[in-house]
Structure 1
Amino acid sequence: MGRLSLKNVTERKGLLYFRRKIAGKDTYLRLPDLDDPDFHAEYRRLSQQTAPKEGPAPGSMAALVAAYRGNPEFAALEMSTRINQMRYLDLIVTEIGERGVKGLRPAHIYTMRDRMAETPGKANAWLSVMRALLAYGTRIDMRADNPASGIKRLELGEHEPWPADLLRVALEEATPMTRAAIVTGLCSGQRVSDCIRMQYGWIDGGIMEFAQKKTGKDVAIPMHPFWLEELKKLPRRSTTLLYERSGAPFKTTGAIQARLRDLMAMSAVREVHADLVAREVITADATFSFHGLRKNSCCYLLELGLSDTEVGSILGMSSEMVRHYGKRARALMIARGAAERVTGGKIVPLARKVVS
Structure 2
Amino acid sequence: MPASRISRANRPSMIGEKVNLCMATRHKSMMYLKIVRAKGREYCYFDTGQKDARGKTIYARLPTRSDRDFAVKYATMLGHRTRRANVQALLTVPKLVEMYQDSSHFAGLAPASRKIYALYLGVFAAMLPTAPAGLVERKDVATLLEKRAKTPAAANMILATISALYKWARKNGHVNNRPADDLDPMDIGEHDPWPEALVQSALEASDVRVRLSVHLLYYTAQRIGDVVRMRWGDIANGEIAVRQQKTGAQLVIPLHPDLEKELAKHARDLAPIIKGQHGKGLATMTLRTNIQQWAAERGHKVVPHGLRKNAVNTLLELGCSVAQTAAISGQSIQMIELYAKKRSQAKLARSAMQIWSKNR
Structure 2 length as normaliser, TM-score? Answer: 0.65
Amino acid at match of 2:255: M
RMSD: 3.0
> What is the match of residue 310 of structure 2?
296
1:114 equivalenced with 2:146 (yes/no)? yes
**CA shift at 1:238, angstroms?**
3.5
In structure 2, stretches of 5+ residues that fail to align are: 1-87, 355-360
User: Are the counterparts in 1 of residues 217 and 224 from structure 2 also a CA contact under 8 Å?
Assistant: yes
Between Structure 1 and Structure 2, how many residues are aligned? 267
Q: Report the counterpart of residue 17 of structure 1 in structure 2.
A: none
Distance 1:126 1:220 in 2: 34
Q: Which residue of 1 aligns with 2:209?
A: 177
1:166/1:204 Cα in 2 relative to 1: closer, same or farther (>3 Å)? same
User: What is the CA–CA distance in structure 2 between the aligned matches of 1:114 and 1:174, rounded to whole Å?
Assistant: 41
Output the amino acid matched with 1:331: Q
- Residue 131 in 1 paired to residue 145 in 2? no
The secondary structure found in structure 2 opposite 1:184 is helix
Compare CA radii of gyration and give the structure with the larger one.
2
Q: Distance in 2 between matches of 1:65 and 1:202?
A: 36
| CA separation of 1:330 and 1:98: change in aligned 2, threshold 3 A | same
Q: Distance in 1 between matches of 2:323 and 2:352?
A: 25
Deviation for aligned residue 1:91: 3.7
Structure 1 contact 200–239 (Cα < 8 Å) conserved? yes
TM normalised by structure 1 equals 0.66
User: Partners of 1:60 and 1:323 in 2: how far apart?
Assistant: 44
Matches within 5 A, 1:1-356: 58-71=90-103, 74=106, 85-144=117-176, 146-250=178-282, 252-266=283-297, 269-270=298-299, 273=300, 287-329=301-343, 331-334=345-348, 336=350
Moved more, 299-308 or 138-147: 138-147
Per-residue CA deviations over 1:291-339 (Å, capped at 9, x if unaligned) read 1111111011112211111111111011111112122225233554799
Q: Structure 2 vs 1, CA of residues 217 and 150 (structure 1 numbering), >3 Å: closer, same or farther? A: farther
What does residue 358 of structure 2 align with?
Answer: none
Whole-angstrom distance in 2 between the partners of 1:207 and 1:83: 29
Counterpart secondary structure, 2:343: helix
**Cα displacement (A) at 1:123:** 0.4
Letter in 2 for 1:185: L
Segments of structure 1 that go 5 or more residues without pairing to the other structure are 1-55, 274-286, 341-356
d(CA) in 2 for partners of 1:191 and 1:239?
19
Which residue of structure 2 lines up, in the alignment, with residue 37 of structure 1? none
Letter in 1 for 2:319: G
Q: Secondary structure at the match of 1:326?
A: helix
- In the alignment, the residues of structure 1 paired with residue 293 and residue 270 of structure 2 have an alpha-carbon distance, to the nearest angstrom, of 24
The structure-2 alpha-carbon separation of the partners of 1:87 and 1:313, relative to structure 1 and needing over 3 Å to count, comes to closer
